Structure 1
Amino acid sequence: MMSQAQAESESMSGNIRWGHRKNFKDGKVYFHYAGFLGYRRGENDLPEIDPEEAEIVRRIFSRYLIGHSVAKIIADLEADGIKTARGHKKWNDGVIRGMLRNEKYMGDALLQKTYIADLFTRQTKKNTGELPQYYVENSHPAIIDRLTFQRVQEEMARRSSLKKVSTAAKTELAKYSGKYVLTELLSCGNCGSPYRRVTWTRPEGKKIVWRCINRLENGKKFCKDAPTLEESRIHTAVISAMNEMFSQKSLKAILQDSIRTALLPENGETSLAAIDSRLSQLREQQYRLLQLAAAVGADSTQYDEELKKVSMEFSALVAKRSELEKNRQDTEQADERAEQLAAELEAVDTGIATFDEVTVRQLISAITVLSEEKLLIRFKDGTEIEQII
């Protein structure tokens, strides 16, 4: 009797799994509305945008792009009393990062990200190549445009690959912090090392300065001529350089240059033919790895890492192929967005009086300390200005 009941249960579960996988293959997208911020169940059981929640989603994406760390985004959301999709007052790192990576926010869906590994325990595992995945484009209304979503993915990759700047660091990678914009921009013209913010305590009070990390940790022997600069002097120099830029070009032109640089795809993109060829290679590689994994037994994890890498590259290339196919449309959207943003700010006074971190992030790509009296400031449109401190 027990054996018969178990067999019936296995048969039923197998049929359900087959049905779900058939739906995935046919491109049917499932939404779990209770835990998914930005969407709600609409007519004919189809997803529709929840305007109030969508504003929260856009806020998270935009603040990440202007340089806020995930911790800063969480702190601001909680300070403003904004709750998660499930109504919790506390946000966590995983929720924010999951939202930033979720392709559903740009109207697409990657299907079969997970699967049920055990029939009886209902244990769910991440699909790292064990089962085929399907990518559905334009399956529902988008909250985030494709260009913004792609830039967020690039920024996430950039932050996760930051190299350590201190010899005291335990790993080769650095942790991103959006607290001070100069941390990312300011570097030593003598040795190339980044500068670090340091607080000096003096009888007359505290003073904030920036120092070359190489000289700070290793001494003059490794970086002899790196000057120590007061933060207020750097801020003043950056403000002067931005105002000089505004005197050379109109504010609208500067904003359009910077916005287009941030929005438009990079040059030298991979062709569709090259992507299709690589996708074919990955399919063959995945098939060979699955055969090898089957040969050594289901309990072995020998090939898990390789399968995961293949699956991740495959998913990235599928998304890239879609982006290339829509390149003309995306370029037109970027031009339109640049015009809209510049038009909104056209009436703003072009004179800058205070150091604003958001403005600096948007306009400046790097600052090199040439000497105690001079900085080389590089703007995102390619302009360089040697600014006296």
Structure 2
Amino acid sequence: MNEFLSGIRRVFAYARVSTKHQSGLSIDGQFRMCERFAEFYNMTIVGKFSDKETGKVNTREQFDVMLERVYAGEVDGILCEKYDRFSRAGASGEVLIQKIEKETGIRVIAVAELMDTTTPVGRAMRGMRMLFAALEREETVDRTIRRMKDMARYAYWMGGQPPLGYKVIDVQDKEGKLRKKLAIDEETAPLVRKIFELYADGKSQAQIVDWLNAQGYKTSRGGAFTKQSLHDILHNEKYRGIYTYFKGTKHNHHAKRDDVVRVPGGVPAIIDEELWDQVQKRFRAHAGYKHRYLLAGLLKCGRCGGYMHGHGGKEPDYRCIKHKPRLTIRKSKIEDFVLAYIKYEILEAVTDIDFELMAHEINAQATQRDHTRKQMIDKLTLELSRLQTDEERLIQAIKAGIGLEGLKEEAQKIKQRKEEIKLKLSQLRGPGGNDYIKVQELKENWELMKKRFYEGTSEQKEMVVRQLIDEVILHPSGYIQVIQK
């Protein structure tokens, strides 16, 4: 059984958590799964590597060190918990894995997604699994956002640093649960009113920033004021008593969107409507053309490698600001190119998907993993029973005073091994296991991505773009290079 694993004896173990803020416990858990797998299949882990980085970062320090040793021929394979822990989910993750396997002759093995990737079907299944993993993450994000938005409609504070002029207090909801809400901070609220009054009276943003810093005032995060932080204050509707949630996007805090939660009267107002209107009237008088830049944070200059920035006006463009003459391209030209690339090279390039075969393969692999897990549970349970018997015999011997010091040391080793086995058994028997999937679920996940791209809002289309595309490079020759995730 699992003949494709034959010949793999020396392996590296690789683990990754999604952000630098996640606990190292997740990495330890991934390594434990790899260790159990290696033990069961008589493999030896000769090195462990881990990164605390987002999967979108091109350079992962430990990952690169591991690959250097892989290309030096030190191992037969690499173990990871799941394929999306090894590389980005999506098409480019599969390309990277195939490239490493072809050039080095090793095998990348996801111990929780065991499949025979020595066959074309197996490799195709791995690629599709990585793509669907990306879709599943998007669904999880959507569900989380829906729950957060439901909470926000009650004007509960959803976490983070409160705006200048406010503090967070505890309140009880209808069910008696403690929630957080914003209340006026009487120490800093007067400064907020002063800022609005200065701008309404004609002071420029630069003048106000200089005055605030000269007086030693600090932002809500304890830093010096900038034009950006001042701009955020003067546009924050909370100061007029309207609680807002889900404004902007990750890459554009001020982006307009039509699904913002707005609760009039949800927070106590610091300024009145008259002062708010005076400030916004000044902004409108200076407002120019506003555009949504789909490739913000994705488009890079092929000359210097830096990000290209959107530049407004009647004919908006993207431009690199580091060099003269500037490398520029019309906004409509490059955005249309990238959208067409996604349509024809990704979404419509994958045709005649046999979802039934795919579901059958995934579920067959899940069945195999369940069988393997049961074998490991049986093996550990038997060992635990033997250790229990040995421990009871040692206890009797210790009570009889036979070889006291040596027996105590042996008893301690048995106790430690028992704890290790109990921990492994609890993990093997715990929730999470192998997911069985239905044909309809596969179809729905695939169609969901296509529907978002073809029929969704501009925000949903942007989500698909950022889900599928890692970066776009504009070369000085005019060549546009699109790099998939």
TM (norm. structure 1) is 0.37
TM-score (norm 2): 0.30
- Structure 1 or 2, whichever has the larger Rg, is 2
